Amino acid sequence: MSWRTVVVSSSAKLDYQMGYLVVRKDTTTKIHLNEVGLLMVESTAVSLTTALLSELVKRKIKVIFCDEKRNPSAEMVPYYGSHDTSLKIRKQIAWREESKKIVWTEIVADKIRKQEELLHYLHKKEAELLHGYLEELEYADVTNREGHAAKVYFNALFGKDFTRSADVTINAALNYGYSIILSAFNREITSNGYLTQIGLFHDNMFNPFNFASDLMEPFRVLVDYTVYFMQPKLLEHKEKMELVNILNQEIIINERKEFVGNAIKIYCRSIFDALESHDVSEIRFYRNEL
């Protein structure tokens, strides 16, 4: 079972040898690829062989590349994630509009619910407002309760003057964490044979990851929780590794404890099942023991 997150943060050569990722620095480290769920290349001074890249794609291991500022800038997404990709894409295009809107409504409800739970855990009085928005939620969120809840929620967490557009370290940390979660969702979508471009609600022609942007919404709260307690003054290696490690935290899904990376797999497949069967009871949301 893949569970390990590998981060290469300094000059190295990476290659493939007999089922192993080989990291060559002053010393050589070998990691069996069966254990690897995510490879993050944080330094631009890293070189990789095409043999390794090919094997990472075959094994559906997510690879994230960072820029010169060590911020995630790109990821490797395979063209063909499943043996029946063509069939899956035809089904995805044919999903009923009603089913997509019902599933989206459930996703929004769970996101607001988890935001409310976090504020309640932190003894923030704004939790009551979010509970009210949840009660007012309508089909397809036509009244934008999600947007209203987000404004109240972020102001409660980070102060009345905080906005998501501000150029501050907290936003940099949130965006870094969200990009890690987004990549994990892209991996599951493509490995199951679907397109990341075609979403349920998100429909931006410039966003190649509309579907992942939809599905990840309830998982954003895991990042918010981490950044709230981190209160970063700077976003450096230590803080970034704490955010990457969110994928290795344990949460509850299907009444079992799972790593976040595995919970994303279970959740995504339940969403696909719900869309295929037109039955939202198929969806498996996670619980976090705050």
50-54, 79-83, 223-227, range with the lowest pLDDT: 79-83
Residue 82: per-residue pLDDT? 85
Query: How many domains is the chain partitioned into structurally?
Result: 2
Tens of pLDDT, residues 237-278? 999 999 999 999 999 999 999 999 999 999 999 999 999 999
Is 106 in the same domain as 140?
A: yes
Decide if pLDDT at 27 tops 60: yes
Question: Are the C-beta atoms of residues 178 and 209 closer than 8 Å to each other?
Answer: no
Is 33 in the same domain as 105?
A: no
Decide if pLDDT at 136 tops 80: yes
Is 221 in the same domain as 262?
A: yes
What mean pLDDT value characterizes the chain? 95
Compute, in degrees rounded to 10, the torsion defined by CA atoms 192, 82, 64, 269.
10
Residue 77: per-residue pLDDT? 85
Nearest to 266 by CA among 219, 223, 209, 196: 219
Tens of pLDDT, residues 180-201? 999 999 999 999 999 999 999 9
Is 72 in the same domain as 216?
A: no
Inside any domain, residue 289: no
Inside any domain, residue 189: yes
Q: List, as one string, the DSSP characters of 156-215.
A: HHH-TT--TTS-SHHHHHHHHHHHHHHHHHHHHHHHTT--SS--SS---TT-TTHHHHHH
State the pairing for strand pair 4-8/36-41. Answer: parallel
Is 209 in the same domain as 69?
A: no
Tens of pLDDT, residues 154-168? 999 999 999 999 999
Is 112 in the same domain as 46?
A: no
Is 141 in the same domain as 259?
A: yes
Question: Are the C-beta atoms of residues 255 and 284 closer than 8 Å to each other?
Answer: no
Is 55 in the same domain as 193?
A: no
> Residue 34's domain spans which residues?
4-76
pLDDT grade, residue 80 (50/70/90)? confident
Residue partners of 5: CB distance under 8 A and separation at least 6: 36, 37, 38, 40, 244, 245, 247, 248, 261
Is 28 in the same domain as 49?
A: yes
